[in-house]
Amino acid sequence: MSDFRGLEAVRAKIAAIEATARADHGVLPFGEAQIDGRLPGGGLPLGRWHEVCGDGMEVETAAAPTAFTALMVAPLARRGEVVWVLRRDDLWAPGLLGLGFPPERLIQVCARDEAEALSVMEDALGTVGVAAVVGEVEAADLTAGRRLQLACEKRQATGFVIRRRPYGGQARREATGSAASTRWRVASAPSEPPAGEFGLGAPRFRVELERCRGGRTGAWLMEAAAAYDSGAYSWETTDVAHPLRLVADLGDRQLAPAQRTAVAA
């Protein structure tokens, strides 16, 4: 009987440890049921880290993934500083301002290599007053991913890894696993000006939620709302509005590849 009670005590301790490891630090809802319904807890999990990646030249330039990440991170700037770890010194603060991101909350750090970028991310995630950390990294293996997650849990900060190979070259071998809470694949999409107006409309993105721990995948067409609807979003206001909005729900199906037009010689 004593052995049985001892076993039950061990199981209880293990359950307590697992519960602590899965501590809920809240979510950041998009305000769109089609998206929030696929994320655990009804929004982007906070106190964890997330991957954002692109295809083709976006692997080197990361233009669309960077803009999409800035829009996701902007609401967190109300809670503290945002540290952005760069591999190339090409982040344009006025462009972030145009997306509704407050540049006065931005701290930029340019890392010499990928190992240093990951190290700076860990340090920043564990720093008092930092709400979110964005880092440009080609790949975060399971070991690096677990270290990032432990750093997120230390101060309940949220991490974002933009998968980027900033100087081109040959890709590293893809890791077989990831510790990221979610993985988003982002590509730019044609914008549409407001009805009855000319010029460019709000930036649009084709977004695939490829991986979601405890949730479901999906694909959507989304656009930036922050700088294009007066009063629609402000990082200084409440958490009700989100700087990304849904344009069309694409459900679970894959996004159709862009049609290529043959050009006569």
User: pLDDT tens digits, residue range 95-116?
Assistant: 888 888 988 999 999 999 999 9
- Which residue is associated with the tokens 């008092």? 128
**What average pLDDT does the segment 163-180 reach?**
74
| Residue 260 lies inside a defined structural domain of this protein | no
Identify the pLDDT of residue 6.
Answer: 65
Q: pTM for this one? A: 0.80
Question: CATH code at 106?
Answer: 3.40.50.300
Identify the pLDDT of residue 104.
Answer: 92
| Residue 11 lies inside a defined structural domain of this protein | no
| Residue 15 lies inside a defined structural domain of this protein | no
**What average pLDDT does the segment 4-26 reach?**
57
In terms of phi and psi (left: phi > 0; alpha: psi -120 to 50; beta: otherwise), the region of 151 is: alpha
| Residue 264 lies inside a defined structural domain of this protein | no
Identify the pLDDT of residue 62.
Answer: 94
> With 70 as the cut, is the pLDDT of residue 52 above it?
yes
DSSP H helices, 114-256, are 114-125, 142-155
| Residue 6 lies inside a defined structural domain of this protein | no
* Number of domains into which the chain is organized: 1
> With 70 as the cut, is the pLDDT of residue 231 above it?
no
Identify the pLDDT of residue 184.
Answer: 97
Residue 253 banded pLDDT, cuts 50, 70, 90: very low
**What average pLDDT does the segment 149-168 reach?**
93
| Residue 13 lies inside a defined structural domain of this protein | no
Of the spans 11-25, 203-217, 229-243, 251-265, which averages the highest pLDDT? 203-217
> With 50 as the cut, is the pLDDT of residue 143 above it?
yes
Residue 136, phi then psi, degrees to nearest 5? -95, 110
Which residue range forms the structural domain that includes residue 202? 49-166+176-249
CA angle 151, 155, 160 (to 5 degrees): 55
| Residue 86 lies inside a defined structural domain of this protein | yes
> With 70 as the cut, is the pLDDT of residue 158 above it?
yes
CA angle 121, 151, 103 (to 5 degrees): 45
Write the burial class of residue 170 (CB in 10 Å: 0-12 exposed, 13-18 middle, 19+ buried).
Answer: exposed
| Residue 3 lies inside a defined structural domain of this protein | no
- Which residue is associated with the tokens 């071998």? 173
> With 60 as the cut, is the pLDDT of residue 216 above it?
yes
User: Would you say 202 and 225 are in contact if contact means Cβ atoms under 8 Å apart?
Assistant: yes
